[in-house]
Chain A
Amino acid sequence: GNSVTQMEGPVTLSEEAFLTINCTYTATGYPSLFWYVQYPGEGLQLLLKATKADDKGSNKGFEATYRKETTSFHLEKGSVQVSDSAVYFCALSGNNFNKFYFGSGTKLNVKP
């Protein structure tokens, strides 16, 4: 079956530090992979996506590469800001009607 595993949080970093949030998946077929971000009190916002192996999604300085050989889609950012503090969700979609499977979410706290 399909599932997503994310690293446990919270992750606490100082401003300008390097960020990695690990995400691995199991899936049948060829899923698309996503990162969504949830800022305090708000809904889920699409951060980036990759639809096939070796694709790199990027947005707002965040990147993630779809690695089929390691079944991973780790989120990275070279220099985090306080405004990046949020909960980050890794997700996959794997069938024609696009049912999403979410990871448990990783809370990121960035301190000035």
Chain B
Amino acid sequence: EPEVTQTPSHQVTQMGQEVILRCVPISNHLYFYWYRQILGQKVEFLVSFYNNEISEKSEIFDDQFSVERPDGSNFTLKIRSTKLEDSAMYFCASSEEGQGWETQYFGPGTRLLVL
């Protein structure tokens, strides 16, 4: 069964460093998303992406964050200058266009720790 994959599974970085989290969505999907889950808290929406542009973003998704689909398969989240409070599990998700569009399929997550 097709699935969303994410790399790396864990990342440790120093405060102020840039990180890039990578995702490979399901191949025929056209909507892409990033969410995060700070330990012990709710899963929070960050951004949605469709047709090579951001569709919606939350107030969390400030200028330090960016997303890109650099090729036909990858979808990345970049944090330019990490802060301690960026430590969280980051989930990528995708959904298809047309029937079934409302269902998102999630990857296994990248656990980011900022020291």
Chain A residues engaging chain B, CB cutoff 8 angstroms: 32, 34, 36, 42-46, 49, 51, 89, 91, 93, 95, 97-105
Interface size class of B (residues with CB under 8 A): 20 to 34
Q: Are B102 and A32 in contact (CB under 8 A)?
A: yes
B103 in contact with A49 (CB, 8 Å): yes
Give chain A residues whose Cβ lies under 8 Å from the Cβ of B106: 36, 43-46
A-B contacts, 19 listed (Cβ < 8 Å): A36-B106, A43-B106, A43-B107, A43-B108, A44-B43, A44-B91, A44-B106, A44-B109, A46-B106, A49-B103, A91-B43, A95-B56, A97-B55, A97-B56, A98-B31, A100-B33, A100-B45, A100-B93, A102-B44
Q: Are B48's CB and A97's CB within 8 A? A: yes
Q: Is the CB of A98 within 8 A of B42?
A: no
Of chain A, the residue at the smallest CB distance from B46 is: A99
> At the interface, yes or no: B35 with Cβ under 8 Å from chain A?
yes
Given contacts A44-B91, A46-B103, A51-B102, contact A99 B45 (CB under 8 A): yes
Q: Tell which of A46, A99, A102 has the most Cβ of chain B within 10 Å.
A: A99
Q: Binding site of A, secondary structure by majority: helix, strand, loop or mixed?
A: strand
**CB proximity to A under 8 Å, residues B95-115:** 95, 101-109
Given A43-B106, A44-B106, A104-B42, CB of A98 within 8 Å of CB of B101: yes
Are A99 and B48 neighbours in the complex by a CB distance under 8 Å?
A: yes
Residues of A within 8 A of B44 (CB): 102
Residues of A within 8 A of B103 (CB): 32, 34, 46, 49
B111 to chain A, nearest CB (A): 10
Distance A93 CA – B109 CA, assembled complex (angstroms): 20
- Return chain B residues, CB-CB under 8 Å to A95: 56
For the complex, what is the distance from the CA of A102 to the CA of B50, rounded to whole Å? Answer: 21
A48 to B47, CA, bound (A): 23
The complex places the Cα of A104 from the Cα of B103 at a distance, in Å, of 19
**3 A-B pairs with the lowest CB-CB distances in the bound complex, closest first:** A43-B108, A44-B106, A102-B43
Task: State in angstroms the CA–CA spacing of A100 and B101 once bound together.
Answer: 12
Assuming A44-B43, A93-B102, A105-B42, is B35 touching A100 (CB within 8 A)?
yes
